[in-house]
């Protein structure tokens, strides 16, 4: 029987900034458009956080069932370590998906019922990342999923839930947050690149190889902050997001310096902190604009 601490670790709290940051930025865009509404913003936050936890448990379940977590460098997996049975982890994932679904229904009720379709697609994409007969996370498409759903869908959806409009500013603001979220996945897969290759899990890191993956990680951060500069041309206060840039130095130094294995666990945490700090500052800058 897994302990509460192990269940918390299985939820992978280091990845939660990828869920929190886009909701903050989407709310900042809503404020910039004079449409901020606290209720829908909180519902969007519940959807994002519970969906992130759900996908983490679902990945734990699916990877554990396939045996691809038997040897891991990163944080403990519940099924792979034997701390919990696959059925227990599946139930945890379903509970988190249910919470996301209920919060999504409430958000749709106060905004637009089109949000139900968006939520359903998001849940399906979360499950089929490593679940189902053709998991796209095993085919180097995980980064696409993260950019679309933790960037575009999360930011634009949060803004739409409050303003009931699709504005170009929301799409623009979604790009840097989506890229930072992708960087989280890239460094996670860089850490596991050799183990994934050994079990046939073809992530983007496996296809690119270590050297190119390290360059790709750095490039994602550079382009993300370049996008904030571009947004700042029209919304100068958005440049507050650049204040988070110094936080990128330590993880970039570790990645480009050849850090491997357990060292990259700290880099994952640092990338999460960078993502969250950028989200907070960009959201504040957009709100002030």
pLDDT given at position 198: 84
Backbone torsions φ then ψ of 262, nearest 5 degrees: -55, -30
What are the residues whose beta carbons fall under 8 Å from the beta carbon of 51, sequence distance 6 or more? 19, 96, 97, 100, 122, 123, 126
pLDDT given at position 19: 92
Considering only CA atoms, which of 104, 65, 109, 84 is closest in space to residue 7? 84
Round to whole Å and give the CA distance between 130 and 188: 15
Round to whole Å and give the CA distance between 166 and 235: 18
Angle at 273 between CA 240 and CA 130, to 5 degrees: 120
Round to whole Å and give the CA distance between 277 and 242: 10
pLDDT given at position 74: 63
Round to whole Å and give the CA distance between 170 and 28: 9
pLDDT given at position 200: 81
Write the DSSP string, 125-180: HHHHTT-SSS-GGGBT-HHHHHHIIIIIIHHHHHHHHHHSS--HHHHHHHHHHHHH
pLDDT given at position 180: 97
pLDDT given at position 101: 95
Write the DSSP string, 45-109: HHHHHHHHHHHHHHHHHHHHHHTTTSS-SSS--HHHHTSS-HHHHHHHHHHHHHHHHHHHHHHHH
Round to whole Å and give the CA distance between 172 and 227: 8
- pLDDT per residue as tens, the chain (289 positions): 889 999 999 898 888 988 999 999 999 999 999 999 999 999 999 999 999 999 999 999 998 888 776 555 667 789 988 889 999 999 999 999 999 999 999 999 999 999 999 999 999 999 998 888 888 888 889 999 999 999 999 999 999 999 999 999 999 999 999 999 999 999 999 998 988 888 888 899 999 999 999 999 999 999 999 999 999 999 999 999 999 999 999 999 999 999 998 899 999 999 999 999 999 999 999 999 8
The dihedral sign for the CA sequence 131, 134, 139, 140: negative
The dihedral sign for the CA sequence 200, 202, 208, 212: negative
């Amino acid at each position: 029987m897994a302990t509460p601490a192990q269940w918390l670790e299985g939820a992978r709290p280091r990845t939660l900034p990828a869920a929190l940051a886009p909701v903050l930025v989407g709310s900042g865009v809503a404020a910039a458009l004079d449409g901020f509404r606290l209720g829908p913003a909180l519902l969007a936050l519940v959807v994002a956080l519970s969906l992130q936890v759900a996908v983490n448990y679902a990945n734990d379940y699916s990877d554990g069932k396939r045996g691809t977590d038997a040897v891991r460098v990163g944080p403990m997996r519940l099924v792979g370590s034997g701390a919990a049975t696959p059925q227990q982890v599946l139930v945890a994932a379903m509970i988190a998906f249910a919470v996301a679904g209920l919060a999504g229904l409430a958000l749709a009720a106060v905004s637009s019922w089109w949000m139900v379709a968006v939520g359903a697609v998001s849940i399906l994409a979360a499950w089929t990342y490593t679940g189902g007969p053709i998991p796209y996370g095993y085919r180097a498409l995980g980064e696409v999923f993260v950019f679309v759903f933790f960037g575009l869908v999360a930011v634009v959806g949060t803004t739409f839930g409050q303003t009931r409009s699709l504005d170009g500013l929301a799409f623009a603001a979604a790009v840097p947050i989506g890229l930072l979220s992708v960087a989280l996945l890239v460094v996670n897969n860089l850490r596991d690149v050799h183990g994934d290759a050994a079990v046939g899990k073809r992530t983007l890191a496996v296809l690119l190889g270590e050297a190119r993956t390290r360059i790709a990680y750095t490039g994602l951060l550079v382009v993300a902050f370049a996008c904030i500069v571009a947004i700042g041309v029209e919304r100068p206060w958005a440049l507050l997001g650049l204040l988070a840039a110094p936080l990128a130095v330590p993880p970039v130094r570790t990645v480009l310096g050849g850090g491997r294995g357990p060292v990259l666990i700290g880099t994952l945490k640092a990338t999460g902190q960078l993502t969250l700090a950028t989200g907070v500052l960009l959201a504040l800058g957009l709100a002030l604009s």
